[in-house]
Amino acid sequence: MIESLFNTTYDIVTVSTASDSSGGRTETLSIGSSVKGLIVPVSAFEAARFSKTTAEITDRLYCGSGTSIDFNSRVTVFGDDNFTEDFAADTGWTKGAGWTIAGGVAVGAATMANLTKTVAPLTVGSTYQVVFTVSGYSDGSVKVYCGTTGGTLRIANGTYNEILVCAGSGAFYMDGATTFTGDIDDISVVEIPAEVYEVIDIRNGTLGANAHKEIDLKRIITI
């Protein structure tokens, strides 16, 4: 998902979009909930300042001067629709008959009902990587849904990884398809990356009195 970015590997990189002063795209790059910098489009003038073209440098990442970057890294930017759930608290979910949340897991007891994220977190048409763990399994089956798109019926303990295109609605839920008895935990939902960048150049700079680091990027994949 990210190769050698910040000298480590992260599973989730989020990006929030807004308009900059020129009306272009400005993206806030974050690792989890920690904002690391901004990705902005590079103009022909800005690229030419460093003897490059906009074909060679498409975007620039601005971040703190202490941020560590690897020249060999690829920066993968995920969309906004991401969440994780460890069921540490019994909040944020609508529990159908036979579902409870206790002891850090969601517990299904011969349930054929849904365990639904109360506020629909997904976007119709977007593609998601969904990871979840089944433990304490003893009977039945369970299936994950992104809107009306269902995953694979699961009938054993294990950690499962699914790629699903959200359709119909932005709902996310676990379906106790056939009298499911077992626990669900460690849900991770990440929008499949929209953009992948190659690191071209790294410089130290200043904005006013503030030191920062500039990382020139070339967009190599847009999904």
Nearest CA-CA partner of 217 in 80, 78, 79, 76: 76
Enter the pTM of the model. Answer: 0.62
Q: Please check whether residues 69 and 166 belong to one and the same domain.
A: no
Q: Please check whether residues 113 and 160 belong to one and the same domain.
A: yes
Residue 3 domain-assigned (yes or no): no
User: What CATH number does the domain containing 148 carry?
Assistant: 2.60.120.260
Nearest CA-CA partner of 149 in 183, 125, 121, 116: 125
* Alpha carbon of residue 72 to chain centroid: 22
pLDDT values of the chain reduced to their tens digit, one per residue, 223 residues: 333 333 333 334 455 444 334 445 555 665 544 556 778 888 898 888 888 999 999 988 887 776 666 677 777 776 655 788 999 999 999 999 999 999 999 999 999 999 999 999 998 998 888 999 999 999 999 999 999 999 999 999 999 999 999 999 999 999 999 999 999 999 988 887 667 788 888 888 765 566 777 888 888 876 6
**Rg of the chain in Å (alpha carbons):** 21
What is the domain extent for residue 32?
13-79+193-222
Rounded CA gap, 17 and 30, in Å?
Answer: 12
Q: Please check whether residues 47 and 109 belong to one and the same domain.
A: no
Per the listing, tokens 């030419």 go with 48
Nearest CA-CA partner of 214 in 56, 79, 77, 50: 50
What total of structural domains would you count in the chain? 2
